[in-house]
Structure 1
Amino acid sequence: MFPDSDIARNFQCGKDKIAYIIKWGIAEFVKKELISKVTGPFILMFDESLNRASKKKQLDLHVRYWDGGQVQSRYLGSQFLGHATANDLLKEVKECAGNLDLSKLLSFSMDGPNVNLKFFDLFQAEYADLYGGSRLISVGSCGLHTLHNAFKSGFSAWNLDKLLRAFHTIFNNVPARREDYIKTTKSTRFPLAFCGHRWLENLPVVERALEIWPYMLLYTNAVRTKELPHPGTASFDVIEDAQKDPLALPKLQFFRSVAQLFDPFLKKYQTEEPVMPYLGKDLAELIKSLMRRFVKREVLQDITTVQLTNLDLEKETLMAMHSVDIGLGAEEALKGTPFSSSLMLCCPGNAGMKTSSCSSQCKKGSISSCTASSASHTQSFGTFAKNYLYCLMGRRLWREGSLSIKRSRQRTCRRKHWSHKGSFAITLPYMGALQRCHLLRSYLNL
C-alpha cells in the first residue's frame, strides 16, 4: 500500500490502538475543524434511541449551518444516558454543544415526545436569561410523525395492520410454506413487511397485498381442500377471516387511495434540503386535497388559507353520502361486492345515522352496516370514508404555535354506542406562522 515508505509499510495497528487513534486523535481534530466552520447562525438537531451494545440511550446531535453558499448538516457528537428526562437532555445537549457559540443558535429540530417539548421550554428560559431576553424560533416538533399517527388512528379501526402483518408473517422464513405457495399459485411475488410505526410508508405493502390477493385466495382454498398442509398459525386465521369479509378489498383500496395523497408530501419533506419556507403552502394544499373528497366544491372554490383553517365542517358544507370520493379502486371493488342484509361492519365514527333498509343503501352504491347489538345504528362504507377523512382533516388539531382551538364536545354513552356532538372553532392568525401544523390524532377515539 505504501511502496515509497519503509516506515508506513512496516506499521502495525490492532483494533484497540486504531480505536484510540480515531477517538482521541482524528475525531477531536474533525470536531474542532467543524466547530471552526460554524461561524454564523445554526440549528441543532437531535434524536435519542437505544444503543443495544451499551444498553443505554444514545443521543445523537447534528448541526446545520450555512457554509460555502449552501446548507451543511454534520454530525457533532453523541451522549449516552440512562434516564432521559428533560433536565437530563438539557445537560447532555449543553455539554455536547458547549464549544459552539450558542448566541447564534436559531432553533432546535426534534421529534415530538413531551419530554422534548419540555426540554425546549427549559432551554428557551436559560437562553433568554443568558442573551438578554432573546428567544429561539419555535418550529414545533416533527410534523411527519403526526401525519403518520393521524393516518394510523383512522385505519387501525379496521385492523388492516393485523391483516398486512399476517400476509408477511405466514411466509416469512418458512421455506416449505413458500414452496407450497409457489407451486399452487405459480407466482414468486410475496407480501412485503408492514411497518407499524410509519403507516404512510406502507403504500408499497398495500399495493403488493392487492396484487397478490387472488393468489392468497388460491393458497387458502388449497389448504381448505387439504391439498396443502394447514399452517396452524394465528396469521392464517387472520387471513381467512379477512377473506370472509366482503369489504376487505374496498378497505385496502381506500387505504391506498388516501396514502397516495400523502406520499408526494412525505417524499418532499423527508430531505436534508431547507424546505421549511414552503411547508405552510404545501400543507394547505394537502388539506384541500383531502377536503375535496368530502367537502362541497363550491365551498373550497376560492377559499384562502386562513379561511381554510376556520372552515366549519358542518352538514351544509359536506357532500351527500353517495358523492364522497373513496377512490376509484374502492368504488370498483364495491361493484363486485355481494350485499346481504346480514352484512355487518363495525365502523368507528358518528353512529347516529339511521337508514331505512340495506337495499336502499345498496341503490346508492354504498354498503349498509350495523353493529352486532343494535340494528338501528347503521352506517355505509361511504360514511366511514367521510368520517375518517373528516377526522383526519379538522376534528382534532394539536395546539401549537399560533394555532388555537376552542372546543366543546358532549359525549353520551349508551352501552357501546357513542354519539358525538360538538362545535369546533379553529382560529389561526396567519398560515406563515404555522411552521409545524400537527394534523390531528383522531376524532374516532373509541
Structure 2
Amino acid sequence: MDDFLAARSQMALSLGFHIIYSCIGMVMPVFMAISHFKWIKTQDPVYKNITVAWSKGVAIFFATGAVSGTMLSFELGLLWPGFMKHAGPIFGMPFSLEGVAFFIEAIALGLFLYGWNRLNNWVHWTAGIIVGVSGVASGILVVAANSWMNSPSGFDFVNGQYINIDPVKAMFNKAWFSESLHMIIAAFSATGFAVAGIHALMIYRKKNIAFHTKAFKIAIIFGAAAAILQPFSGDLSAKNAAKHQPAKLAAMEAYFHTQEYAPLVIGGIPDTVAKKVNYGLEIPGLLSFLVHDNFKTPVNGLDKIPVKNQPPVAVTHYAFQIMVGIGVLMMLIGIIYFYELWKKKDLISKPWFLKTFIWATPLGFIALEAGWTVTEVGRQPWIIQGVMRTSEAVTPMPGIQYSFYLFSFIYFTLSIAVIFLLKRQIQMVPELYDRKTAQS
C-alpha cells in the first residue's frame, strides 16, 4: 500500500466510524428530550426510565464521538497539510463554531446527567434540549465545511494564490443547505430505525414490553418521518450536484453519453471500457426530468468530462444505488407504519411487524455510509472541487501505512468497547425499570 492510498484509506476509515457515532450523538438527545418531556407532563415512570436509559447511551456515544472527532481533526493536519495550509483560513469558521457547539453540548450533557433530583424539572429538561440542539448544530457546521469542498466559494484563486477570503461566504456556500438538510434527515432516519429495531427485538423477546413499546414509538415516529422526507432532500442534493459537480452526478448514474431524454439507470454493472452499463434498467428521460424538470433537456455525461477529472465510476455508482435502494425501502416501511397508525391498528404484538423493524435496524447506517462514499469518492480526483487535487494535498512524510494499521486497530477496539457498553446497558434496562417502578 503506497502512502497516498494509505492516507485516503485512513481518512475513509475515520470518517466511516465517526459518522455513525456523530449521527447517533446528534439524534439520541432529541429522543431523550421527548421522553423526558412526556415524563414531566404525565409522571409516567416508564418515560423517566426511558430517559435515564437513553441518557446513558448518549453519554457513551458522546465520548466515542469526541474521541473519533478529535482524531479526525489531527488527521486533517497530519495527512493533508497541503489542503489545510490553503483551505484552513477559508473554511475554518464552521470548524471553530462546531468547537463552540461541542463545548456547549458537553456542559449541557453534564448538567443533564448529574441534574436528576438536583435541578428543577423544566431546567433539567432544558439542559437536555440544549444537548440536542447543539448536537444538531455541530452536524450542520461540519457538513457546511465538507460542502465547501464540493462547492468552493469565499475566495479568488489567482496565480496559485488564495486571495479575497470571505469565511462567511465560504461557510454558506451553494451546497451547504442541501447537503446539511440531507445529512440531518439521514441521521434521524438511520438512528430512528436503529433504536426502534433494538426495542422491537426486546418486544419480540417479550422483555419489559411496556418500557420497550413506548421507546419504540418515540424512535420510529422520527425515523419513519425522516425516511419519508429523505427522497425530497436527496432530489435537492442531486440537482445541486448536477449544477456544481456534473462529474459526480454522471458517475452516480454511470451516465457515459450526453443525450436528450437522458435515461435514469437502476442497478447495472458499469463497463468503463465499453462506456455502457450492463444489466441495468434504463428509464428514458427520467434523469433529464429529475435534473431539469423536463424529459428532453440533455444532462452532461462523462463524455463531457476529461478522463483525468473523472471519479471512479463503479464505486460511486454502486454506493449511490445502495443508498437509494435502502432509502426507498425505508420510506416504504415508514409509509406502512404511518398508514397502520392512521388506521389505529395495534401491530406491536404482530411478529411480522416486529421482524420488519428488527431486520431494518442496520439499514439506515448502511445507506449513510454509502451516501458518504458517494460524497467523497464522487468528488475525486479533487479534494477541493476544481481547485486542488487530492494528490497535491497529501503529506510527503513516508510510512503512512503504519499509521493506517494503528488507527484501524484503535477504531476496532473502540467499536468493541462501544458494543460491550451498549449491550450491558440494554441488558440492565429490565432491572432498572423494575427497581424504579417499585420506588415510584
Same-fold call, TM cutoff 0.5: no
User: Relative contact order, CA 8 A, sep 6+: which one is greater?
Assistant: 2
Structure index of larger Rg: 1
More strand by share: 1
TM-score by length of 2: 0.29
